[in-house]
Amino acid sequence: MSGSNPRVAIVTGGSRGIGREVVTRLAADGLAVVVGYAGNKDKAEEAADAVRQAGGRAVAVRADVADENAVTALFDTAEEEFGGVDVVAHVAGKMVLQPLVDFDLAVLDDMHRTNIRGTLVVAQQAARRLRPGGALITFSSSIVVQATPAYGPYAASKGAVEALTLILARELRGRDVTVNAVAPGPTVTDLFLEGRDQATIDRLASLAPLERLGTPADLAGVVSFLAGAEGHWINGQIIRVNGGAI
């Protein structure tokens, strides 16, 4: 498309970490970007400002992904500001780690509200609104197959994301819209580093045969590929982006 009528992306969880890098990458690819965020307005506005300063188009919109009215408004804004929606990168999520035997059920409900209900709510709007040639990219986690202790309730929520993703890809037959999940391994973000000592970080880095942690740019590159024409024949897949750490 021409620069005056770009493709349009919504990125949830776009204020920091992997989501922020996805915002930057999709904007560099020429897409107008709606930066969805839950509470960190300053960081989200900073992400949108950076896109605009680089010559792109972006707005920041607050939306709790599990709130269907907020997510409807998020998509409405994308259509009103930029004319439609072509790509949805649903990066927003929560992770709480604790052995299952001690897990607080209120914490479970809150995490699953964001990770499962939030994915379903965002996917509903994406299914209704993505234009032909479009792509929905959900985020799972490689922990689903790594089966690491203390990750049970979180991994369960991401297993649900994978199931929803695979089934929605088939439900959208005839729409020319792809649905895939990206499943990161250990990735260097502020949230990842928080509370981890260097020995733990080194151990996680050693899991991959490539002997390093992932970076947000590693993930954003895969999202860029799935969002673009070259990745459009990939559909209904879980892509584990983890350097071989399985």
Active site residues: 154
Decide if 154 contacts 227 (C-beta within 8 A).
no
Q: DSSP letter for 113, please.
A: I
Kindly state the tokens that stand for 203: 């151990």
Closest by Cα among 42, 161, 187, 32 to 90: 161
Q: What is the 3-state secondary structure (H, E, C) of 148-170?
A: CCCCHHHHHHHHHHHHHHHHHHH
First to last CA, the chain: 39
Closest by Cα among 145, 219, 129 to 180: 219
SS3 content of the chain, % helix, strand, coil (to 5): 50, 15, 35
Tokens 């506005």: give the residue: 45
Tokens 């942690």: give the residue: 213
- How many residues belong to the chain? 246
